[in-house]
Amino acid sequence: MNALLKSATVVDSKSDFHNQTVDILIEKSRITKISKRISNPNNYKEVKLANLHVSSGWFDSSVSFGEPGFEERETISNGLKTAANSGFTAIALNPNTQPVLDSYADITFVKSKADGAATSLLPIGALTKNSEGTDLAELYDMGNAGAVAFYDYQKPIANPNLAKIALQYASNFNGLICSFPQETKISSLGVVNEHVNSTKLGLKGNPNLAEELQIIRDLFLLEYTEGKLHIPTISTAKSVELIREAKAKKLDVTCSVAIHNLILTDDTLKDFDTNFKVLPPLRTQKDCDALIEGLKDGTIDMVTSDHNPIDIENKKVEFDYAKYGTIGLESAFGALQTIFTTKQTIALLTKGKSRFGVSENSINVGETANLSLFNPDETYTFSISNISSKSKNSAFINKELKGLVYGIISNSKIIL
């Protein structure tokens, strides 16, 4: 793959050309020249786009598609096209499929479905067989097949001894255990944040305490086992404090936050729109502020779209019965830019790679071209027309976003 990017502003703190507007020559998928002006004697494909900015490729640590089993929600093929069009050069795929991805063969299958795609797919294997929380799945075998972590998507590990054994066992091969932060006996039948709005709306509440108790338990287990833990999608101010304290103790823990939990609060629930029914639930502005501060000081390691396509039959129902989840790939960049600078947004979208075994490239001569292309300045109202996912369950519909994504250059392909 050969290409010449014209007048591209580099946003990459690891690049010698950070904040400079340059031409970038790519030959055989490798950056061979970066300069103020580069001629095109070989008639390579030229990429000329308004206010073109480039960064190293973006990564999302929590993405669901549906295939196998829920192809009506999303397929791997269309999901990866959506990720590419949204600026992501790599995504970690959750195992919430049917059958659940809990064996060597399952991991091999989803990897094969992603062959040839511009966006790299990194499968996450189920932690327990069929994600039922009873017996550990084939962690070592799945790791050999290419699983980058082990997680029962949005299902807490109820049995603390099972969590302890998982952390101990995975440490033998440097495996990453993910534990969803929710104590189900506390959260019970709660469907929204337990606060003033849950009372006003007559909806059962899921309190902050349910998340924080589980995190405290998991951090104690982590300290005991000296394992390797990732806590996905935290949502409360206290959770940030707990993880900050754990990191001060040098525990091997990372965490993420879903972009919608940074920006949206439970005030959006007044119309009972099920696109806002997510897990963990949307909390209060106080929690949002603490999460944003946690990202700025490094307590929270990465953001995620927590992209979860849900078919209309499971969203256009009463709030209590609707499935949890919102899509988020298409809106991720524009939403983040409503609360962060472009430099901060790109830093967040490129973090978390090493934790999930993704190589980290910079925009320098000699590096493989792994780039996200975007215009950071254009504002627009996000609508159905901006969605390329099969499912349209976005919490950001009709929201004002800032910044358009042009596409990616990755895996020897240009997607614009």
Annotated catalytic residue: which of 306, 311, 320, 377?
306
Q: How many CB atoms lie within 10 A of CB 75?
A: 18
- Residue 301 is a catalytic residue: no
As annotated, the active-site residues are 306
